Chain A
């Protein structure tokens, strides 16, 4: 055979970077993703540099100038202790982002591991674990959060643990579904045919292929985590005053809406909404890119 047949005349872009770059390009071309990234980027900036850039000390009260409507001095007005709502909203991004991210990371790590194991081994282990997962899913997340926070006392660590653990089965389900279809692919058997141990097959071979769904799931869950954390602090669990937590701010002020003092409620509510929408837009953009 003299000719090296069917070597691609196409320039096989000479590295794996190319496909990553291709995916990145797809993601970046998605307007949904970009809008989401800008929103989330803004809040991340606030979380990182908020305390340095805000006009006022978010904790300093001025009780005699309470509930001032928005003005050039206080862009978002003042709250019921006379604190600057704008500063509190900006600075408030840090806590919720850290807590939500940690919780989601925890849930994603545990859930991915659990999903890999159950999806790969199937059989009795899988059945048993999935039943436990089902049982967990039967209780709404807020109720679980509420129980745990009452039992263990409110603290950020508890919030991270609770949400992380509640997310674990949900993420495990998604990962499991991905693994179930992945394990039918022959490369898994090829791995077995060179005597690979199960952990390597799981984490070395299958995991890289389900990272897409995992990443999407992570973003989606991040949105839910923000939602759940805000709900828990709204219910008075989880975060200590005088933290400029958004849910707490809404809880502290929504009763004043009737009196026409809408600003201390509206701005944190908008903050939650924009952040969750932003995260969801990113998730959407990623989903589109990975489904292609």
Chain B
């Protein structure tokens, strides 16, 4: 123990203030070993170091090695062709514009990010070997890995990283949905051959997530890249393009020159098949057309869940539905009405009914239980019809009212809408549903030309994020571009910037608690649940999906 303590001290000596604070939290038992590792990766501590510290500190091991069902690759054998059913990309495969699961999962096969946000929301270094913030987290320095080559044989350098970032920042990339207000064009600096420095617009404690696979557009491209990604699928990843047939699928072969020999693909080939429809993907796995189905829903994949011959990979995630109520429009200007609406919802029934329990309860804020910064001590909102009716009474709406709920035909949204409709009927609120297609609902994604952002009452699907920043700033901040509830609350904005700037988990949690409580009180939106990410395989092990929708097949192989 002494020797350990000694070595721990040595480690501490080399660490920054921030990092040492994290080590203190761990040793004090304030955070779990898992949370420690997770935070540590953000701050750039290497995994060996982290595991050493963790064992040295003897942090509690409650959910210790619970690194998911996919970790062991013992049964997986080398060779063969893996076939994966993936939802068809919504448009051209272009790192700039991809914004859907089919597209991003395809990007992630041949492309690589600075870091990989894994199934535990931990960052694994990839193109970046390590990273480090300055004191206040306003400048981050990334060390770029050497010895990585692109599929065409060109070696990757720090210049490629800078070029990639500037390419996105200068070209209205979809990546800006996360980087907007965080990193501006021209602020990515080449320090030397192996070092890149990012100077942020404001301090940000979670910046590495924003340039990791969570920001799925940011696969590192050669500096010579000028477009036409579809022709080459250029990248540095473990899989190289063999053939691509638009609308049908992609065939990859293993990249023999892959830099990470420990992650050298097991299978020889990797076939991705595109399916328009979830049912088609599920049926494809049932019928033996494919071996892996990425991201499916409980509602659509019942057949897989109930059949023991399929292996289900279940990831807790932050993906959720948000039922927004426009705080600036009748009938929802009165927060008591909004609270009443939220109180009418039986969340446990939704989780059990819609997800067969494969979801976390939502507590009307974007702080999903999966985020370490979420404060679990904030009391869960439960269904309370009496209180809901009283609140309506108090708000002068005792006789109920009529309102139209808008959304689109996707996932379990129509089901949710129907269940909510029936629930609100209980408190006298008559809801008419208008379920359109996604194009009609999202419109132009801008205020004034999008039902999503303009309707008084709507359900929106939110995908997984490694950190809740976007859920908070873009979607609830008073200047946010996607603030569907039109929620304008100065206190919230202040708490939000506190939260974003906070480095240490304590501070983040403190801010989170306040935000959670504020949102419960104001209820600009109902967050009924955060549902798990599901994938299924048959006779295949070692598939590693992420909540974002990526799936890493490098260590996947057939079991028989």
Touch test A–B (CB under 8 Å): yes
**Residues of A at under 8 Å CB distance from B?**
59-61, 63-64, 66-67, 80-82, 150, 153-154, 236-237, 240-242, 252, 254-261
A153/B302 contact (C-beta < 8 A), A59-B422, A66-B353, A242-B418 known: no
In the complex, besides A61-B419, A81-B418, A240-B434, 11 extra interface pairs with C-beta distance below 8 angstroms are A59-B422, A60-B422, A63-B352, A63-B354, A66-B353, A150-B439, A237-B437, A241-B417, A258-B283, A258-B302, A259-B303
- A147 CB, min distance to chain B CBs, angstroms: 13
How many residues from B make CB contacts under 8 Å with A? Answer: 34
Report chain A residues within 8 Å CB of B353. 63-64, 66, 81-82
Inter-chain contact A63/B419, CB cutoff 8 Å: yes
Bound CA span A257–B434, Å? 27
| Bound CA span A66–B302, Å | 12
Could you name 28 residue pairs across A and B whose Cβ atoms are closer than 8 Å? A59-B418, A61-B422, A63-B419, A80-B415, A81-B353, A81-B415, A81-B418, A153-B436, A154-B436, A154-B437, A236-B409, A237-B437, A241-B414, A241-B415, A241-B418, A241-B433, A242-B421, A242-B433, A255-B279, A255-B282, A255-B283, A255-B299, A255-B301, A255-B302, A258-B282, A258-B283, A258-B286, A258-B304
The main secondary structure of chain B at its interface with chain A is helix
Assess the A236–B419 pair: CB atoms within 8 A.
no
Interface of A is mostly: loop
A60 to B434, CA, bound (A): 19
A39–B282 Cα distance when bound, in Å, is 36
**Total residue contacts A-B, CB cutoff 8 A:** 77
Contact of A241 with B435 in the complex, beta carbons under 8 Å: yes
Given A256-B302, A261-B302, do A61 and B418 touch, yes or no (CB 8 Å)?
A: yes
Contact partners of B291 in chain A: CB under 8 A: none
Give 1 or 0 for each of B279-312: 1 = CB within 8 Å of chain A CB: 1001100100000000000011111111100000
Residues of B within 8 A of A242 (CB): 417-418, 421, 433
Report which B residues bind A (CB closer than 8 A). 278-279, 282-283, 286, 299-307, 349-350, 352-354, 409, 414-415, 417-419, 421-422, 433-437, 439-440
Q: Cβ of A153 and Cβ of B440 under 8 Å apart?
A: yes
Which of A66, A241, A252, A260 is the most central at the interface, judged by chain B CB atoms within 10 Å of its CB?
Answer: A241
Chain A residues with Cβ under 8 A from B286's Cβ? Answer: 258
Q: How many angstroms between the C-alpha atoms of A241 and B302 in the bound complex? A: 21
Q: How far is the CB of B346 from chain A (nearest CB, A)?
A: 9
Q: Which of B282, B306, B350, B417 contacts A63 (CB 8 A)?
A: B350
| Measured CA separation A110–B138 after assembly (Å) | 70
Chain A proximity of B154: nearest CB distance (Å)? 44
A63-B349, A258-B286 given as contacts; is B279 within 8 A of A81 (CB)? Answer: no
B349, A64: Cβ atoms closer than 8 Å? yes
A254 to B303, CA, bound (A): 11
- Beta-carbon contact of A258 and B303 below 8 Å: yes
Instruction: Return A95 CB to nearest CB of chain B, in Å.
Output: 15
The residues of A that contact B437 with a CB separation of less than 8 Å are: 150, 154, 236-237
Within 8 Å by CB of B279, from A61, A67, A236, A254, lies: A254
Most chain A beta-carbon contacts within 10 A, residue among B305, B350, B419, B436:
B436
Closest A residue to B408 using CB positions: A236
A220 to chain B, nearest CB (A): 31
Cβ–Cβ < 8 Å partners of A66 in chain B: 353
State in angstroms the CA–CA spacing of A15 and B418 once bound together. Answer: 58
Kindly report which residue of chain A lies nearest to residue B440, judged by CB atoms: A153
- In the complex, which residues of chain B have a beta carbon less than 8 angstroms from the beta carbon of A153? 436, 440
Q: Is the CB of A259 within 8 A of B418?
A: no
Complex contact A64–B352 (CB within 8 A): yes
Distance in angstroms from A252 CB to nearest chain B CB is 7
Distance A64 CA – B349 CA, assembled complex (angstroms): 7
Would B433 and A80 count as touching, CB distance under 8 A? no
User: Provided the pairs A63-B353, A255-B282 are in contact, do residues A240 and B435 lie with their beta carbons within 8 angstroms?
Assistant: yes
Cα distance A82–B422 in the bound complex, in angstroms: 12
Contacts of B421 in A (CB 8 A): 242
Which one of B278, B414, B415, B418 contacts A255 once the chains associate, using CB atoms below 8 Å? B278
Shortest Cβ gap from B450 to chain A (Å): 14
A237–B283 Cα distance when bound, in Å, is 23
A257 to B304: give the CA distance in the assembly, Å. 11
Closest A residue, CB atoms, query B415 = A81
Q: Which residues of A contact B419 (CB under 8 A)?
A: 61, 63, 81
CA A66 to CA B299, docked complex, whole Å: 11
Q: How far is the CA of A236 from the CA of B300 in the complex (A)?
A: 15
CB distance from A61 to the nearest CB of B (A): 5
- The docked-state distance in angstroms from the alpha carbon of A198 to that of B71 is 83
For the complex of A and B, the 8 pairs showing the least CB-CB separation, nearest first, are A63-B353, A258-B303, A259-B303, A255-B279, A242-B418, A259-B302, A241-B414, A255-B300
